[in-house]
A and B are shown apart, each in its own frame.
Chain A
Amino acid sequence: MSLTKSVSTGRSVRPRARSSRLRAYLRVDGWGLLILPLLVFLVVIFVVPLGMLIAKSFTDPTVGLDNYREIFAESLYLKILTNTFVIALSVTAVTLLLAYPYAYLMTIATPMWRTVLLLLVLVPFWTSVLVRSFALVLLLRDTGVLNTIAQDVGLISEPFPIMRSMKGVIFGMVQVALPFAVLPMYATMRNIDTRLTKAAQGLGDRPSGAFWRVFVPLSMPGVAAGLLLTFIQALGYYITPAMLGGPKNTMIGELIVQQVSTVLQFGFAAALAVLLLGTTFVLLAIAGRFMNLERMLMGRS
């Protein structure tokens, strides 16, 4: 009897505490209301269309999972999906090899050089993907700058084909991917206590040993976040692969545009987009475990 009483009082007390905490949590002040215009705008222009996209993938042309079944039934589509993953993985790997030493150099550089390095890596982010891809075509094609120079110098006798191959796609995509890898890596490395590597050396480790055994493990969260962000971005590229790759290097973005513009299969294109969106969110959730993504994004410009 007393047990039920205590339980019931416990119940009557707790909701009150919870409701006051809830009310404190839900409190909005005058400044807070200013979030509404943008929030409403983005819900209407961005979130609702994404919802419509998801709905369309299940309903157009027929209700059900037909669109998704088609993706996995046709070997051509499966090949494009595999392509997309292989290219994104290769881009991520090459980007890691370049971005890690670059970010490390940023941590040991003087403030002025650090700014220069930062601005430099952001150039691809802020110049038109179209202009950049066009420039790469001028650079990489058989009669392009690189092949002409290499032939004039006598390095090669025949033009070395880079365009219309995976090499060309990777060459173009790594440029855009670099900031997404360098920035989180640098953000993590900057906060590593340099006294730790000094301590390792003081305890008798060689500088290289201190670097590999102390600095590298401590920088891993930034590396993981950077790699995931790079991979996510690489999955969704459209212009660069369409321009520098050949028919064998079609990626999912190109397939989506093709399905809409040439065969008008909206439902199927939507299903592909939802697949890409789902993958993006899963990878983002994983990246969020390594790093405060909001803070990283907010610190970008």
Chain B
Amino acid sequence: MTRILTRAGLILLAALIGAYILLPILIILPMSVSESAFLTFPPQGFTWQWFEELKLDPTWLEAATASLRVAALSAILSVVLGTLAALALVRGRFPFRGPVLMVLLAPLIVPYVIIGLAVYIAFLEIGLTETTLGFVLVHTCLGVPYVMINVCAGLVAVDRRLEMASMNLGAGPVSTFFRITLPAILPNMLAGALFAFITSWDEVVVAIFMSGPTLTTLPVKMWAGIRVQIDPTLAAISSLALLVIVGCFLIIGLGRLVQRLLARRSVSSDSTGV
């Protein structure tokens, strides 16, 4: 009896935590199409007016394209650097593994305020603040650990026998890598790239340091808007920003599903083929 009560209590608590996590985010969507100019609850009527207003103000579009550009470029750079590092971590041998791994994972732990200030001070000296390159470089630092983690997980699962078979059949190591290993870890690279993309797309603290009149990313512009006054266009832009992230996660989920299905198929053909 107490056991059932405990379970029920735990499930109730989890449901409350779930509501606490999800409801605030979900409330944004109806608010962004509500006719009320003061974002009052409950939402009234239905209108695309606030999205229209976004279109009329070119600075929103500028900030959004700047954010997209930075996020896409830093995702690409993260994939290249992160995949190479993952190969070294899983397959390779190199000294000072512990300290090296600490450096590679440190961007996940060090507070963004510190990273922002440090990079700002350094980039100010060489004129990289308020530039796309500067943003891409620092956002790659923040995003690359996710690529590394994802690709490491994929590499561990790669069947080394397939690579050996390919080499036995006469393919060189490079050709084996591109024909066997790379396709196998491609979904992990894609997931890592999307995580890096989201990290950059969302990132505001470091971006506040790096932004200025010549280059401002979307989160920084939103932050400036929120500090001045809360209005429905902010709810509209928040909805759009949220949709981008949801889209990324749908792709990640789809990729994992495909990977799992392919793995299952190769396992079943394994057992029937032998």
Contacts and interface: CB of A to CB of B under 8 A. Distances in A.
A46 interface: yes
Nearest to B253: A119
A294 B101 contact: yes
A134 B94 contact: no
Given A28-B95, A32-B92, A45-B140, A208 B238 contact: no
Interface string B239-255: 00110010001000000
Nearest to B107: A46
Main secondary structure of the interface of B (DSSP, over half): helix
A287 to B, nearest CB: 10
- Chain A, interface SS category: helix
Contacts of A49: 115, 118-119, 121-123
A124 B18 CA distance: 11
A121 B40 CA distance: 28
B14 A297 contact: no
Given A256-B113, A277-B114, A135 B226 contact: no
Interface stretch (B54-62, B143-151, B161-169, B257-265): B143-151
Nearest to A254: B113
B204 to A, nearest CB: 5
Of listed A102, A127, A137, A297, residue having the most chain B CB within 10 A: A127
Given A38-B82, A45-B141, A134 B226 contact: yes
B245 A136 contact: no
B158 interface: no
A48 B39 CA distance: 45
Nearest to B101: A294
B226 A243 contact: yes
Contact of B117 (A27, A137, A148, A260): A260
Given A42-B141, A276-B114, A294-B98, 17 more contacts: A35-B85, A37-B84, A37-B85, A39-B85, A43-B103, A46-B106, A101-B10, A127-B242, A134-B28, A134-B222, A137-B230, A138-B31, A208-B2, A257-B113, A257-B208, A261-B208, A300-B149
